[in-house]
Amino acid sequence: MTKHDNRPLVLILIIALWLLGGVFVFTSAKAYAANDGSQSDLYQNLQLFNEVLIKLKQNYVNEPSDEELIKAAINGMLGATDPHTSFFDAEEFTDFTTSTKGEFGGLGIQIDKKGDYITVVSPIEGTPAYRMGLTAGDRIVKVDGISVVGVSTDEAIKKMRGPVGTKVTLTISRPGVTDLLDFIIIRDVIKIKSVPYAFKLDNGVGYIRISQFSENTDRELIAALDTLESSGIRGLIIDLRFNPGGLLDQAIDTVNEFIGPNKLVVETKGRIQNSNRQYFTRFNRKAKEYPIVVLVNEASASAAEIFAGSLQDWDAGLIVGKPTFGKGSVQQLFPLSNGNGIKITTSYYYIKSGRCIHKEINDKLLKGKEVTAEEKEQIDKKVKDHVYYTVNGRQVFGGGGITPDIEFNPDFLTNFGMELRRKNTFFNFAIDYMVKHNHSVNRSFTVDNGTFEQFLDYARTQEIKFTQSDIDSTASFIRTSLASEIVGKQYGEQEAYRITLKLDAQFQKALELFDKNRTLDQMFNYANQAAKKGSKE
């Protein structure tokens, strides 16, 4: 029997399945007693879908694959929803459901699809991608020479992951840089530590970096707080910049550390009744007797926004930095037949003050749709028009994302500085330097003029072109970055990270708040006065 001889059987099967679907729709319509005609419309549209499918099977120039047609239909259907609702085949579903274990093989980047491009949201600290200098906003156009423009996020992840120790070449399009950039990265086991850095600063203020909210975030945070508090800190900076979010229960339990038990943190609201839930803190924790500043930026998302917004709503911390991303939708996983699965947006997050975290314009951008300047202006105005209040009556703003109490702008790296990082110049020079100096430097090491000139000579051998003006504008960055790499080689990543904070304009501005204000109430008053003046730091 030839291939075409199977067609009548296939068509009978399809029609039979459609009829079963029709029975299901009819039964559902009776069960729900719908009076608005919506079930009838669904029945008619399914009939139309069936007609198209049959005509394709009968008349298309080549024999179409049933599986490919159905998957394309499913993905097309989901295209009418938000960018976070997606279908997984069996392999993808398995990968997705195991990706929150806290350890996997890969490069160490958080990515998302923006338009046709797989875009770096944030490199994960301490990973190969982070060390190589990939940065937020980089567009990945090729993986090992194969274009990934237009592919799904999951497909791109598959191409980038591989055996530990193997190489992968990412070709990057970077805003402001004309030529494409190649990064050759060696895959490694990616172990995600939620609190990679926690230490006491020279002025007595504690610093905690939360990179994401995963399985052990609350335990890591408690351990860091216990150590810092036992050392007698006079204040605390919690850094949530570039934190893409993570597990909701971990966001709630970490908020618990600062507001105590039986407090509403967040609630979800959706169309279906069981999507509407309230989440409260559960544990007794001692009140913090020092002021707390939370640093956020445009890449702080989801659970990070719940944490920051909740501390703001409960007047437990001052939020500074830039307005957050606005990812406040809730997804639920549903297993399907044959190992497949689907992730569906079922509700939105609302924090204590009543603010919805979700910024709908992001859904439009993530689906590659154009957003005009007028639309952006209207959305910014909408945020300021939606006024809410904290538990102590402070005014805060809604409309998507978390608006800081005080805005601090970051410093931007020069093209010369970006090129030095992209070519791994600091890392490679530091290795040679440590070999020449018998792997021994002081913890207080600084880059003298001789070492500075040696570094510039090394950069020239890497075919990096620069002018005296480039050197003058990037000198501080070079000296600090080089000191960070060299000290880190001997004393570890945390010591290296402490040095890099000297370059961090937002962090330095946040640190100054503790010199101007001794209590959190004083910080709130300071922020209120700045808001009345309409000033931005």
- The set of residues, in sequence order, having a beta carbon less than 8 Å from that of 80 and lying 6+ positions away, is none
CATH 2.160.10.10 fits 103-191, yes or no: no
pLDDT confidence of residue 282: 94
Residues found in the chain: 537
pLDDT exceeds cutoff 70 at 497 = yes
Between 453 and 81, whose confidence is greater?
A: 453
pLDDT exceeds cutoff 90 at 393 = yes
Q: What is the rounded distance in angstroms from the CA atom of residue 193 to the CA atom of residue 170?
A: 24
pLDDT, one tens digit per residue, over 18-67 is 333 433 333 333 444 444 556 678 888 888 888 988 898 889 899 888 88
- Span 388-414, mean pLDDT? 90
Which tokens sit at 373?
A: 């300047």
Query: Which residue type does 332 have?
Result: Q
pLDDT exceeds cutoff 50 at 469 = yes
SS3 341: strand
pLDDT, one tens digit per residue, over 268-300 is 999 988 889 999 999 998 778 899 999 999 999
pTM: 0.75
The string of DSSP codes covering 317-340 is -EEEES------EEEEEEE-GGG-
Architecture of domain 197-330+348-356+370-407: Alpha-Beta Complex (3.90)
pLDDT exceeds cutoff 70 at 7 = no
pLDDT exceeds cutoff 70 at 110 = yes
- Asked whether the beta carbons of 90 and 335 are under 8 A apart, the reply is no
61-89 in b/e form (b: 16+ CB < 10 A) is eeeeeeeeeeeeeeeeebeeebbbbbbbb
How many other C-beta atoms are found inside a 10 Å radius of the C-beta of residue 54?
Answer: 15
Q: What is the rounded distance in angstroms from the CA atom of residue 436 to the CA atom of residue 439?
A: 8
pLDDT exceeds cutoff 90 at 449 = yes
pLDDT, one tens digit per residue, over 129-151 is 988 888 767 899 999 999 999 99
pLDDT, one tens digit per residue, over 66-108 is 888 888 888 888 888 888 899 988 888 877 765 545 456 789 8
Closest Cα partner for 451 from 491, 420, 478, 415? Answer: 478
Q: What is the rounded distance in angstroms from the CA atom of residue 245 to the CA atom of residue 329?
A: 12
- Span 160-186, mean pLDDT? 89
pLDDT exceeds cutoff 70 at 400 = yes
Active-site residue numbers? 302, 313, 327
Which tokens sit at 502?
A: 């000297």
Q: Across the strands, what pairs with 235?
A: 205
- Span 320-326, mean pLDDT? 93
pLDDT confidence of residue 274: 87
- Per DSSP, helices labelled H in 410-492 are 415-422, 425-436, 449-461, 468-491
pLDDT confidence of residue 104: 61
**Domain chopping of the chain, boundaries:** 3-64, 103-191, 197-330+348-356+370-407, 415-503
pLDDT confidence of residue 246: 87
Closest Cα partner for 517 from 318, 322, 259? Answer: 318
pLDDT confidence of residue 114: 75
Looking up tokens 């509700």, which residue turns up? Answer: 347
Q: What is the rounded distance in angstroms from the CA atom of residue 506 to the CA atom of residue 485?
A: 21
| Confidence bin at 154 (pLDDT 50/70/90) | confident
pLDDT confidence of residue 5: 45
- The set of residues, in sequence order, having a beta carbon less than 8 Å from that of 67 and lying 6+ positions away, is none
Closest Cα partner for 304 from 323, 276, 279, 284? Answer: 323
Q: What is the rounded distance in angstroms from the CA atom of residue 449 to the CA atom of residue 2?
A: 80
pLDDT confidence of residue 2: 41
Closest Cα partner for 320 from 428, 435, 451, 408? Answer: 408
Please provide the average confidence, as pLDDT, over all residues in the chain. 85
- Span 220-232, mean pLDDT? 96
